[in-house]
Amino acid sequence: MTEKDARTTVDLTRDLTRRRFLQGSALAGFSAFLAACSTNGGSAAPTAAGSAVANIPTPPPASATPQASPTPVPSPTGPLHWAQWPAYIDLTGKAGDEGVYAPGSSPTLEAFKAKYKLDVDYQEKIEANEDFYATIQPQLQGGLPTGWDLITVTDWLAAKIISKGWAEKIDQGNVPNCVANLRDALKNQVWDPGQDYHYPWQSGMAGIGYNKTTLAKNGKGEPKSLADLWALPADKMTFLTEKRDSFGLGLLKLGKTADPTLTTDADLQAVHDDIKPLVDKGLRFAGNEYLQDFASKKVWAAMAWSGDLASSGSADDVWVAPAEGSLVFTDNMIIPKGAANKYTAELMMNFVYDPKIAGNIANYVYYVSPVKGAEDVLKELNKDAPLDQALLDLLFPPADVIAKQHNFQFLSDELEAKMNELYADLAGV
């Protein structure tokens, strides 16, 4: 990428620059949240995220819209169009085994449909934040509806969409469950402190996934660290198209900290130079489609998101937090501007914040639920056959894992531009 391209990227997010300011609470909140999840795993350790300067966009200034004014109760309309990541809700039967949604396969969605007597057009359309953003950005920019009523996007993109004023304001009166049950640690995000525009869907970690049988068959040991991962045959691996994750883990592999406020262009360049030889030997980049590669045994190991392999992979697929550390993220529900069924989207948010429903979802997706009480429901669901420790570690990360978690979400414009440029070179585009 040339200087000009880099400039483009910088300009793209220039709105965010103006609003950049000192903050630390969001990062600290993150760690605290994950610590809170590990109540059964021992005491929470301090995390790497301290006070820091980061590029965190803020919501648009309060508009003329009055705050949660008492509106007449609208009637739900449908179908609700929901864009979601693959295998990110409870699925049963064949869909559950394959980790691919098919209409009728999700008890949560079926219960919602029955309760409100309307249809849900649930589509697993998101494999990478940027690719999905490219499909809705032109409409949002032009003030047109995106066709979606609810989208699930990761922190940095959620913050970007909200800061541009492209999210519908949530009527808190319609989401009492969310107000009551959102875990405290996830509240007060700088980019949307009052939950006016978002509620978290699930949180998770980026780390190492591998298939132990394939590795054993080929005489390779199981990677426990990122250095181990780098040493495996490159053409049997995928890294993530989600650049923040690939570069973040790359930083940790080099023994550098993955912290948007400390990382420099030179650090990112070092990561690029470290990954480039792997690309020359056949490394590929993948979004959620690494699940298919795992299924076809095309990849032996990959940078992967916690929960994915446990919920959708085979019994031999394992996810581990690398010895060097892992990255944390939260995916958030947002109602894009111009959504045709805003009220229904709010009903859905409210619905999935019922601890019973949230427990059911967590019991399938194995990500960290943002809903208070989901944990108890989950344990109750599995009381006859308790989940094994590896799974519990994904849902309630142990203290030593939490201690080495990093948040590499909110990059400065300059850093993001540099990362985009380096990634384009790695990805061959």
In the complex, least distance from residue 238 CB atom to other proteins, rounded to whole angstroms? 10
> In the complex, what is the shortest distance from the CB of residue 185 to other proteins, in angstroms, rounded to a whole number?
32
CB 357, min distance to other proteins, A: 33
Closest CB to other proteins among residues 149, 421: 421
Q: Do 275 and 229 form a contact (C-beta atoms < 8 A)?
A: no
Indicate the residue among 282 and 386 with the shorter CB distance to other proteins: 282
Q: Are 406 and 321 in contact (CB under 8 A)?
A: no
State in angstroms the smallest separation of the CB of 279 from other proteins.
Answer: 5
Rounded CA-CA distance 356/372 in Å is: 10
CB within 8 Å of 249: residues ≥ 6 apart: 206, 207, 226, 239, 258, 303, 322, 326, 327
Residues 6 or more apart whose Cβ sits within 8 Å of residue 41: 393, 396, 397, 398, 399
CA distance 428 to 296: 24
- 3 state DSSP class of 278: helix
Of the candidates 25, 122, 3, 52, the residue with the CA atom closest to the CA atom of residue 412: 52
Residues 6+ apart with CB under 8 A from 353: 175, 177, 178, 180, 181, 182, 199, 371
2/75 with CB nearer other proteins: 2
Separation CA 409–CA 347 (nearest Å): 29
Structure-block tokens of residue 343? 């009220």
Alpha-carbon distances of 97 from 251, 352, 378, rounded to whole Å: 35, 22, 19
Query: CB 98 → other proteins: shortest distance, Å?
Result: 13
Q: Which is nearer to other proteins, 298 or 372 (CB)?
A: 298
Residues that bind other proteins (CB under 8 A): 1-2, 4-5, 7-9, 11-12, 14-15, 130-131, 134-135, 137, 141, 214, 217-218, 233, 235-236, 279-280, 282-285, 292, 296-298, 420, 424, 426-429
Cβ of residue 62: shortest distance to other proteins, in angstroms? 23
Q: Nearer Cβ to other proteins, position 146 or 306?
A: 146
Q: Which is nearer to other proteins, 360 or 420 (CB)?
A: 420
- The residue (of 255 and 277) whose beta carbon lies closer to other proteins is 277
The phi, psi pair for 165, rounded to 5°, reads: 75, 25
Supply the minimum distance, in Å, between the C-beta of residue 235 and other proteins.
6
Cα–Cα distance, 23 to 33 (Å, whole number): 17
Integer-rounded Cα Rg, in Å, for the chain is 21
Strands 326-334, 21-23: parallel, antiparallel or unpaired by DSSP?
Answer: unpaired
Q: How does DSSP assign 240-261, residue by residue?
A: ESSHHHHHHHHHHHTT----TT
Q: How far is the CB of 163 from other proteins (least distance, A)?
A: 12
Cβ-based nearer residue to other proteins, 235 or 400: 235
CB of residue 182 to other proteins, shortest distance in Å: 32
Q: Which of 47/420 has CB closer to other proteins? A: 420
